[in-house]
């Protein structure tokens, strides 16, 4: 309806009505049991259900305070879409291990297939990104109710794989964007800490892809899936921040369909 939702890391979602200079006094969501270790624990992203206008469902990825675990939950907005119904949280995913201070991933996006895609970081355990038995360092794909689609590429039922995994081999993909007109999922992945070799990446989310971390960064050889764009990390305290595809009309036509990050 033209209002903007703004996520604050410390566990709050604010509503900004036009012209977006002052948030409403009452938060849309205020989490109380939220992680605070380091500088990266908290709430990372929010996404509205494709049927939000009728079901009032929305989704948030955050680090729980106690137990200290990453979590994806569904919440229900109130009848005026000005706040959240108390006690409406439904947990759809929770990491089975305690969280690191950093590298949580946490991006959420709905695909044209109606599935919910979300990313996870490897929590500074780089090897987990290559393990199909670990949920970390991955793109996941689930149904809106948290169940697993039958056509997920690594689903093995009672086998050892984490069935929700859609793609793997990522370090800290904390921003992703789904471009509905093209059906492309853009994922930004942060480079490693060896600054002489580290590469920042923009990856396309593709079923079954392995993006190579920690075995490679930047362009890689098959069966590794290369990023569509990468650039040198070039020193410390630098990070790609995944952006969006511009589909508006108020800026020059050359911007139309371009990915900004």
At 52, which helix (H) or strand (E)? helix 52-55
Task: Convert the pLDDT of each residue in 16-43 to its tens digit.
Answer: 999 999 999 999 999 999 999 988 999 9
What distance in Å separates the CA atoms of residue 129 and residue 171, rounded to the nearest whole number? 7
Whether the CB-CB separation of 21 and 14 falls below 8 Å is answered with no
Whether the CB-CB separation of 226 and 219 falls below 8 Å is answered with yes
| Backbone dihedral angles phi then psi of residue 54, each to the nearest 5 degrees | -110, -35
Task: Convert the pLDDT of each residue in 184-207 to its tens digit.
Answer: 999 999 999 998 889 999 999 999
Whether the CB-CB separation of 108 and 46 falls below 8 Å is answered with yes
In eight-state DSSP terms, residue 50 is T
What distance in Å separates the CA atoms of residue 216 and residue 77, rounded to the nearest whole number? 42
Q: Model's pTM, two decimal places?
A: 0.97
Residues sharing a CB contact under 8 Å with residue 254, sequence separation 6 or more, in sequence order:
none
In eight-state DSSP terms, residue 100 is P
Written as six digits, the tokens of 87 are 């006690």
* Residue-level pLDDT, tens digit, the chain, 261 residues: 999 999 999 999 999 999 999 999 999 999 999 999 988 999 999 999 999 999 999 999 999 999 999 999 999 999 999 999 999 999 999 999 999 999 999 999 999 999 999 999 999 999 999 999 999 999 999 999 999 999 999 999 999 999 999 999 999 999 999 999 999 999 999 999 998 889 999 999 999 999 999 999 999 999 999 999 999 987 777 899 999 999 999 999 999 999 999
**Residues 84/85/87/92 CA torsion (nearest 10 deg):** -60
What distance in Å separates the CA atoms of residue 16 and residue 240, rounded to the nearest whole number? 26
pLDDT at 232: 93
């Amino acid at each position: 309806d033209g209002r903007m939702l703004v996520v604050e890391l410390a566990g709050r979602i604010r509503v900004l009505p036009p012209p977006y200079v002052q948030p409403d006094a009452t938060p849309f969501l205020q989490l109380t049991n939220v992680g605070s270790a380091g500088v990266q624990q908290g709430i990372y992203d929010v996404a509205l259900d494709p049927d939000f206008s009728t079901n009032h469902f929305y989704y948030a990825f955050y680090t729980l305070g106690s137990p200290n675990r990453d979590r994806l939950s569904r919440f229900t907005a109130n009848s005026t879409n000005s706040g959240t119904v108390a006690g409406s949280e439904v947990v759809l995913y929770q990491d089975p291990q305690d969280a690191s201070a950093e590298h949580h991933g946490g991006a959420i996006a709905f695909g044209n297939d109606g599935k919910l895609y979300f990313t996870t970081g490897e929590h500074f355990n780089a090897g987990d990104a290559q393990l199909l038995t670990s949920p970390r360092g991955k793109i996941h794909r689930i149904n809106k109710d948290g169940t697993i689609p039958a056509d997920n590429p690594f689903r093995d039922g009672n086998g050892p794989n984490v069935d929700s995994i859609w793609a793997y081999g990522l370090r800290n993909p904390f921003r992703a964007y789904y471009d509905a007109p093209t059906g492309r999922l853009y994922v930004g992945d942060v480079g490693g800490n060896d600054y002489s070799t580290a590469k920042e990446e923009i990856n396309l989310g593709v079923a079954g892809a392995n993006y190579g971390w920690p075995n490679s960064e930047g362009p890689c050889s098959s069966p590794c899936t290369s990023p569509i764009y990468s650039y040198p990390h070039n020193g410390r305290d630098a990070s790609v921040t995944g952006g969006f595809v511009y589909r508006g009309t108020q800026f020059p036509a050359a911007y139309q369909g371009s990915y900004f990050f």
